[in-house]
Amino acid sequence: MSTFDTLGLDAPLIQAIQDLGFTKPSEVQQKAIPILLGEETDLVALAQTGTGKTAAFGFPLIQKIDPSRKHTQGLILSPTRELCLQITNEIKLYAKYIPGLHTVAIYGGASITEQASQIKRGAQIVVATPGRMKDMINRGLINITQIDYCILDEADEMLNMGFYEDIQDILSNTPKEKRTWLFSATMPKEVSVIAKKFMNQPVEITVGSKNSGASTIVHEYYVAGSRDRYQALKRLADAHPEIFSVVFCRTKRDCQKVAENLIEDGYNAAALHGDLSQNQRDLVMSSFRKKQIQMLVATDVAARGIDVDDITHVINYQLPDEIETYTHRSGRTGRAGKEGVSMVIVTRSELRKISHIEKIIQQKFTLKNIPTGMEICEIQLFALANKIKNTEINHDVDEYLPKINEVLDGLTKEELIKKIVSVEFGRFYNYYNKTRDLNASEPSDRGDRAERSEGYSSSNADSVRYFINVGSRDGFNWGTLKDFIRDTVGLGKDDVYKVDVKDSFSFFNSDTTAKDIILETFHEFKVDGRFINVEVSTEGPGNFKGKPKGKRDFDRPGFKKSKPSFDKGGYQGKGGFDKKKKFEFDPAKKSKRRQGFG
Ligand code: ADP
Ligand code: MG
């Protein structure tokens, strides 16, 4: 196994690498560093984001620079201000034991005179965005006519962002004999054009297969109705209590809307898009880095600068217009050898795009089920139990303990546990206990649609459609549910009809004349301690258009505390948990139900 010592790096760099805690070079570093340290050559390196490209060019560049000479010797072009700053910081860390070596960042949105004076003081390495760089050249504030090395980092992104002409102009100010090192995640036609036009017989290295995603990323897709996208997004987040994610939307408007909805629903979310000022974007990014934001909702353009490690999930709220963009999105997770998941919410009509992407990334997607409400409750319940178990005890509470003991006097340990868990868990239970299956991928999809349109017409002057919170999971099929309702209410043989049993809830119809007796019978009606709830279904199931903020939506789970639902008695009133009817944590059943987001 190769180490940094065998790559030909000098002692000051090795020392800095140790400080950084890098133990072993990444693949692109292993391949690129010896080439770049060896004979002078141009290079094209293709590697995914998060594979360590900065060091792959940074180490050799630093070693080749002569710090005793003050003029600019190396120029790194990078697509965004954020990346530019990040590369600058990294290079400074790498070069910390090399006295006299100065690195300066040049980017838009900050004082050009300040940047110019930094350059004037001497910067052997300049890291720049193309726009500002061109500006400075035009104003004579920088001299790059003597550089030895030019690095085009994230070349594909720079071209995507329309910097082709700027790059061309900048390069025309550099000496012919310089060496050009091009780094890119993908190799679209435009990048090969650059390589041909501006480079001299470059050595080409590829990490992984061309255009493919990093192998530590798992790709999943979830099929939902187009109106259910947002609900599906929430479920994906709720099924991963520790999520730290970027959610990609296609437009600024969608981005803003989704972020606002998430915030309103209690999630730690924020939007990142081009309509925000630079200052606002910086604030958002800094909160995201500190993990104060768990869901960053971004457009592709705005997300270009995101180089945050530890992102657990990338969620494609919508697929990008350009399939190539998918690689960039998914590359935001699975960085530095960590595992990551890239999730895509698609409608049935978009399914063929999935196979298209599979071809490009040369990796397979897994079809996953959007978790049901009860699965989420289960996951959240266990997450909460674990959180309680792992919480360090705060001894400041010790002095209150006698009083607290008084308050809780008479509760058994078991009751106490149930109550503590219910306090937090109630939010999820209240929200999810009656929700429907969002998956549009089942063979029953056509049935679903039929049911939807039927749903509209099913409640009319003569007939009423109801929602009931039991389903096949409770052991009902249409026949037994029909009998159960009929017998419970005391109705005649054909009084209950159009029974449609779903996983955890069902629908049925009765004549309007039976409406009052049905609703009355099921008012605060319990079986085995579990409330069986019947409501008039005002719309077809699955159609939330124009839906008033009704019971089913009355509380939303999220990451913030302070939702008062439990205090209102919502959870306790439902009583389902206590009797374990629905929450039978049968291990066999659980593993089956939970597969896919364990
Ligand atoms: P890329 O430019 O390919 O997207 P970066 O250069 O930004 O990737 O590196 C991604 C992360 O991996 C950074 O946090 C970086 O510090 C870290 N990293 C780079 N090389 C190594 C290594 N050899 N060992 C451990 N971590 C590394
Ligand atoms: Mg990079």
Residue 267 in this model has a pLDDT that exceeds 50: yes
Mutate which of 20, 28, 48 for ligand 1? The one with the most ligand atoms within 8 Å of its CB, which is: 20
What is the mean pLDDT of the segment spanning 328-357? 86
Tally Cβ neighbours within 10 Å of residue 385.
Answer: 14
Q: Check if 53 has its Cβ closer than 6 Å to any atom of ligand 1.
A: yes
- Report the pLDDT value the prediction gives residue 336, as an integer from 0 to 100: 66
Q: Are the CB atoms for 467 and 434 separated by under 8 Å?
A: yes
Residue 593 in this model has a pLDDT that exceeds 60: no
Going by C-alpha positions, the residue among 366, 313, 370, 304 that lies closest to residue 339 is 313
Q: Which residues surround ligand 2, an ion (CB under 5 A)?
A: 53
The ligand that comes nearest to the alpha carbon of residue 79 is: 2
Q: Check if 131 has its Cβ closer than 6 Å to any atom of ligand 1.
A: no
Q: What is the percent of the chain where pLDDT is above 70?
A: 84
- Report the pLDDT value the prediction gives residue 215, as an integer from 0 to 100: 59
The residue type of 208 is G
In this prediction, residue 588 has a pLDDT band, given cuts at 50, 70 and 90, of: very low
Q: Are the CB atoms for 112 and 164 separated by under 8 Å?
A: no
Mean pLDDT of all residues in the chain?
Answer: 81
Mutate which of 17, 29, 54 for ligand 1? The one with the most ligand atoms within 8 Å of its CB, which is: 54
In this prediction, residue 580 has a pLDDT band, given cuts at 50, 70 and 90, of: very low
The ligand that comes nearest to the alpha carbon of residue 16 is: 1
Nearest protein CA to atom 23 of ligand 1, as residue: 25
In angstroms, what is the span from residue 122 Cα to ligand 2's centroid? 25
- Report the pLDDT value the prediction gives residue 305, as an integer from 0 to 100: 65
Q: Token pair of 24, please?
A: 């072993």
In angstroms, what is the span from residue 53 Cα to ligand 2's centroid? 5
pLDDT 10s digits, 427-471: 777 788 777 888 875 433 333 333 333 333 345 677 888 899 898
Q: Check if 30 has its Cβ closer than 6 Å to any atom of ligand 1.
A: no
- Report the pLDDT value the prediction gives residue 458, as an integer from 0 to 100: 46
Q: Which atom of ligand 1 is nearest to the CA of 51?
A: 3
Q: Are the CB atoms for 329 and 317 separated by under 8 Å?
A: no
Q: Are the CB atoms for 92 and 103 separated by under 8 Å?
A: yes
In this prediction, residue 547 has a pLDDT band, given cuts at 50, 70 and 90, of: very low
pLDDT 10s digits, 337-351: 678 899 999 998 888
- Tokens 């998430």 label which residue? 262
In angstroms, what is the span from residue 288 Cα to ligand 1's centroid? 19
- Tokens 């298209």 label which residue? 356
In angstroms, what is the span from residue 22 Cα to ligand 1's centroid? 9
Nearest protein CA to atom 25 of ligand 1, as residue: 22
What is the mean pLDDT of the segment spanning 541-552? 32
Q: Token pair of 245, please?
A: 């994610």
Residue 167 in this model has a pLDDT that exceeds 60: yes
In angstroms, what is the span from residue 54 Cα to ligand 2's centroid? 5
Q: What are phi and psi of 67, to 5 degrees?
A: -70, -15
In angstroms, what is the span from residue 308 Cα to ligand 1's centroid? 11
In this prediction, residue 213 has a pLDDT band, given cuts at 50, 70 and 90, of: very low
In angstroms, what is the span from residue 185 Cα to ligand 2's centroid? 9
Which of residues 550 and 74 earns the better pLDDT score? 74
Ranking 115-119, 186-190, 395-399, 581-585 by mean pLDDT, the lowest is 581-585
Residue 188 in this model has a pLDDT that exceeds 80: no
The ligand that comes nearest to the alpha carbon of residue 25 is: 1
Q: Check if 49 has its Cβ closer than 6 Å to any atom of ligand 1.
A: yes
Q: What is the percent of the chain where pLDDT is above 90?
A: 42
Give all domains of the chain, ordered by start, each with its CATH number: 4-206 (3.40.50.300), 217-367 (3.40.50.300), 373-432 (no CATH), 445-595 (3.30.70.330)
Residue 265 in this model has a pLDDT that exceeds 60: yes
Kindly write down the DSSP assignment for every residue of 20-58, as one continuous string.
HT--S--HHHHHHHHHHHSS---EEEE--TTS-HHHHHH
Nearest protein CA to atom 24 of ligand 1, as residue: 22
- Report the pLDDT value the prediction gives residue 1, as an integer from 0 to 100: 56
Per-residue buried b or exposed e for 486-510, using 16+ beta carbons within 10 Å of the residue's own CB: beebebeeebbebbbbbbbbbbbbb
pLDDT 10s digits, 529-541: 788 889 888 654 4
